Chains A and B, each alone.
Chain A
Amino acid sequence: MTREFISGNDALAQGVRLASPKVISAYPITPQTTVVERLSEMVGDGSLDAEFIHVESEHSALSCAIGASAAGVRTFTATSSQGLLYMAECLPYAAGGRFPIVMMNANRSVALPWNIYGDQRDSLLLLDSGWMQAYAQDAQEGLDLALMSYRIAEDPEVSTPFMINLDGFRLTHTYEVVEVPDKESADRFLPPFRPIGSIDFKDPQNIGFSAGPEHNVFFKYKAHRAVLRSRSAIAGSEKAFSDIFGREYTGLIEEYRCEDADHILITLGSASGLCRHAADAARSEGIRAGVLRIRYMRPFPAEEIAAAVSGAKSVSVLEADVSFGGSGAVFSNVGAALFSAGLSMPSSNYIGGLGGRRISQGDVRRIFSDMAAGKTGVRFIGIEEGLQ
């Protein structure tokens, strides 16, 4: 193990190196680029024994990864924003085909207007694509997820692609001290890939077929069940990770001062650190605040969220996403989880950080005040109260 002062993208690339994918296909897009630059350097200098394929588009990046996965090897790709949307067709394709591909997405705003900075509209648009989705809060978690994602995705009960999300620039380009495991420990944690139903010359396979109305539901149900079952693979993976590397992760969600909180703010990604500081500040002023960080949007932690907030007086969701005319995707998922659990406390949705706009501690502190004052509805941070 070494301690290195590196960016989130560098950390992610180190995690991928430790996972030893055999085929990497990628197309450059800001702010993902340094991930694939680092990986092509590693392939070039021999520190990673893989084929780096310079595809001509993101659609081809994932199509190529599907092909390599069908051939029975571990694969990696990375993208962001417009690139993720350009490859969108291939996402449900990979999920329906049950290819355990790992992809890093550098969360970035989507055009129009053009914007290269971080928000979560790209990955949340693809929430229904059948992939597991995890959101890191710092560079270390990015690296650790790169290792854990393969173990989870390749679990025979799961065999589903996995998207690791890092907030554009805030995580991808921010330098932190990161523990980089040694390869030997990484190999102990991550067993070699054992493909299921891949190309086989002794027992030839027809892969990726059509299934009509009579049979289609069975494939869809199995894919759904696989993502549900990833919960135990995630738990098992985190246990093994802690045993080998000593770092603990908390499953699909991470709670901060939720146990006695009246007002719980739910968020995901890099904003969560800021929210925890704001919760501390709110508590010092008499508001019993808590923060719940969603680590996985798929599988969705509906029961975990409901259990964590069941004693709260109000719940709010802060996310860098909005579905015009509706709410943020995280809020609508959380709302369904609360409703299913029979919880009906006042709730609100704060849209913040769109296009990389800075969220201040004061902004989050105001969310807690609003919650304490009983405000509900969908609100945009940065838009005057009178216009909302």
Chain B
Amino acid sequence: MSPPVPELSDDEFFYGHKACAGCGGSLAVRIALKVLGERAVAVLPAGCMSAVGFNFPQLCFANNAIISTFAGTASMMTGIEAGLRARGITDFKVVGFAGDGGTADIGIQALSGAIDRGDDVIYICYDNEAYMNTGTQKSSLTPFGARTTTTPFKGNVRDKKDMFEIAAAHGIPYAATASVGYLNDYMRKVAKAAEIKGTKYIHVIAPCPTGWGAGSDETIELAKEAVDCGLWPLAEYENGEFTLSMRAKDPSLLDGHIRRQGRFRHLTSEDMEHIRELRDRRWDRIERKWNTDQRRRTQ
């Protein structure tokens, strides 16, 4: 049984920062800290959230927070968790917030090490699908077709790496995907992660209006649509099983979802067909291998 969606606290732990208008990543951090509360210790590597939140003397975390090296989010979390425990402190949560590049590229080794050791930490990847802090360069979580400043013409030729399943393949106690468009589901997953012993991995899709070529008022719509059209399945991995959190509401939303984003504007109809194929192939596998019957509707 999943815990209920926690009530949204009035406490703010991440404010006064310099994120772009409509930033999905800052919402993911803010909401997770509201769920985890003042006993959360936040670790953020180089990336958007540390760049906008840690500018001396304008420091934007009301809880304990630290910047790690780019590659060292998970290993620094390990050290903090072990250190606080060694001091005899028990009621705390170490939470990491790393971007897609910081997680799936440069930070994957340390993350894999932490999961392997079973360190009692919550690792949240806020995925805005490119190196946005440095001006939208391709990461291994940039989707097929997306134009970035390092894939400037045809766009990215590969599909996203599946970090959720990579985390799960470690035999992690808990992994989940989430979206800042479905905050109740995200909050429930963060709250659930906080109750589970061992390493927890939550991968939250967090649109970046600046890098995606969308309006700053479109973030939530885009984050909902990505789920609704089936591009970003919301799911959990627990006790060796994948469970779908909610079905894609309307697969036909895909074209409009892609077309409204500037980063995809150059795509041909063949490219669009390829994106559809990638999505449908994924869903074939989900239907075969995941627990989709006992799906929980969280909205």
Give the chain A neighbours of B72 by CB distance below 8 A: 59-60, 63, 66, 90
Q: How far in angstroms is the closest Cβ of chain A from B295?
A: 35
Provide a sorted-by-A list of 12 A–B residue pairs whose CB atoms are within 8 angstroms. A25-B78, A51-B85, A55-B113, A64-B76, A67-B43, A67-B77, A68-B86, A71-B83, A75-B79, A206-B66, A207-B66, A210-B51
B79–A23 CB distance below 8 A:
yes
B67 at the binding interface (Cβ < 8 Å)? yes
B64 at the binding interface (Cβ < 8 Å)? yes
Residues on B facing A (Cβ under 8 Å): 38-39, 41, 43, 50-51, 54-57, 59-69, 71-72, 74-87, 89, 92, 109-110, 112-113, 116-117
- Assuming the contacts A59-B110, A67-B77, asked whether A201 and B92 have C-beta atoms less than 8 A apart, the reply is yes
Give the chain B neighbours of A22 by CB distance below 8 A: 82-83, 86-87
Q: Which of A60, A61, A71, A204 has the most CB of B within 10 A?
A: A71
A63–B54 CB distance below 8 A:
no
Q: How far is A208 from B81 in the complex, measured between Cα atoms in Å?
A: 17
A70 at the binding interface (Cβ < 8 Å)? yes
A206–B59 CB distance below 8 A:
yes
Q: Which of B56, B68, B81 has the most CB of A within 10 A?
A: B56
- Assuming the contacts A22-B83, A208-B67, A209-B59, asked whether A67 and B113 have C-beta atoms less than 8 A apart, the reply is no
A174 at the binding interface (Cβ < 8 Å)? no
Q: How far in angstroms is the closest Cβ of chain B from A87?
A: 10
Chain A residue with the shortest CB-CB distance to B50: A210
Q: How far in angstroms is the closest Cβ of chain A from B26?
A: 16
Give the chain A neighbours of B75 by CB distance below 8 A: 25, 55, 59-61, 63-64, 67
Q: Which of B54, B76, B77 has the most CB of A within 10 A?
A: B76
Give the chain B neighbours of A57 by CB distance below 8 A: 109-110, 113
Chain A residue with the shortest CB-CB distance to B110: A60
Q: A56-B109, A75-B79, A199-B80 are in contact. List 10 more A-B contacts (CB 8 A).
A: A25-B78, A54-B117, A64-B75, A65-B79, A67-B76, A68-B79, A71-B79, A207-B65, A209-B56, A212-B56
> What number of residue pairs across chains A and B have CB atoms under 8 A from each other?
159
Q: How far in angstroms is the closest Cβ of chain B from A22?
A: 4
A152 at the binding interface (Cβ < 8 Å)? no
8 A Cβ contacts from A22-77 to B: 22-23, 25, 50-51, 53-57, 59-61, 63-73, 75
Q: How far in angstroms is the closest Cβ of chain A from B96?
A: 11
A206–B61 CB distance below 8 A:
yes
| Contact pick for A53, options B38, B79, B92, CB 8 Å | B79
Chain B residue with the shortest CB-CB distance to A215: B56
A89 at the binding interface (Cβ < 8 Å)? yes
Q: How far is A57 from B92 in the complex, measured between Cα atoms in Å?
A: 26
Q: How far is A213 from B177 in the complex, measured between Cα atoms in Å?
A: 39
B86–A73 CB distance below 8 A:
yes
Give the chain A neighbours of B82 by CB distance below 8 A: 22-23, 51, 53, 64, 67-68, 71
Give the chain B neighbours of A89 by CB distance below 8 A: 69, 71
- Assuming the contacts A204-B62, A204-B64, A206-B61, asked whether A90 and B69 have C-beta atoms less than 8 A apart, the reply is yes
A59–B69 CB distance below 8 A:
yes
B69–A209 CB distance below 8 A:
no
A210–B54 CB distance below 8 A:
yes
A63–B117 CB distance below 8 A:
no
Give the chain A neighbours of B39 by CB distance below 8 A: 201
Q: How far is A369 from B72 in the complex, measured between Cα atoms in Å?
A: 51
A71–B65 CB distance below 8 A:
no
A209–B41 CB distance below 8 A:
no
8 A Cβ contacts from A209-226 to B: 209-212, 215
Q: How far in angstroms is the closest Cβ of chain A from B100?
A: 20
A93 at the binding interface (Cβ < 8 Å)? yes
Q: How far is A59 from B70 in the complex, measured between Cα atoms in Å?
A: 11
Q: How far is A210 from B80 in the complex, measured between Cα atoms in Å?
A: 20
Q: How far in angstroms is the closest Cβ of chain A from B153?
A: 33
Q: How far in angstroms is the closest Cβ of chain A from B90?
A: 12
A67–B80 CB distance below 8 A:
yes
A69–B38 CB distance below 8 A:
no
Chain B residue with the shortest CB-CB distance to A60: B75
Chain A residue with the shortest CB-CB distance to B85: A51
A73–B87 CB distance below 8 A:
yes
A209–B55 CB distance below 8 A:
yes
| Contact pick for B76, options A66, A201, A211, CB 8 Å | A66
Interface string of A175-218 (1 = CB under 8 A from B): 00000000000000000000000011100111111111001000
Q: Which of B65, B66, B81 has the most CB of A within 10 A?
A: B66
B65–A206 CB distance below 8 A:
yes
Give the chain A neighbours of B71 by CB distance below 8 A: 59, 63, 89
Q: How far is A208 from B110 in the complex, measured between Cα atoms in Å?
A: 19
Q: How far is A228 from B39 in the complex, measured between Cα atoms in Å?
A: 37
A64–B79 CB distance below 8 A:
yes
B57–A215 CB distance below 8 A:
yes
A23–B86 CB distance below 8 A:
yes
Chain A residue with the shortest CB-CB distance to B44: A208
- Assuming the contacts A65-B79, A90-B69, A199-B84, asked whether A212 and B112 have C-beta atoms less than 8 A apart, the reply is no
Give the chain A neighbours of B109 by CB distance below 8 A: 56-57, 60
Q: How far in angstroms is the closest Cβ of chain B from A216?
A: 9
Chain B residue with the shortest CB-CB distance to A216: B56
B87–A72 CB distance below 8 A:
yes
Chain A residue with the shortest CB-CB distance to B62: A204
Q: How far is A40 from B3 in the complex, measured between Cα atoms in Å?
A: 39
- Assuming the contacts A56-B109, A60-B113, asked whether A207 and B69 have C-beta atoms less than 8 A apart, the reply is no
Give the chain B neighbours of A205 by CB distance below 8 A: 64-66
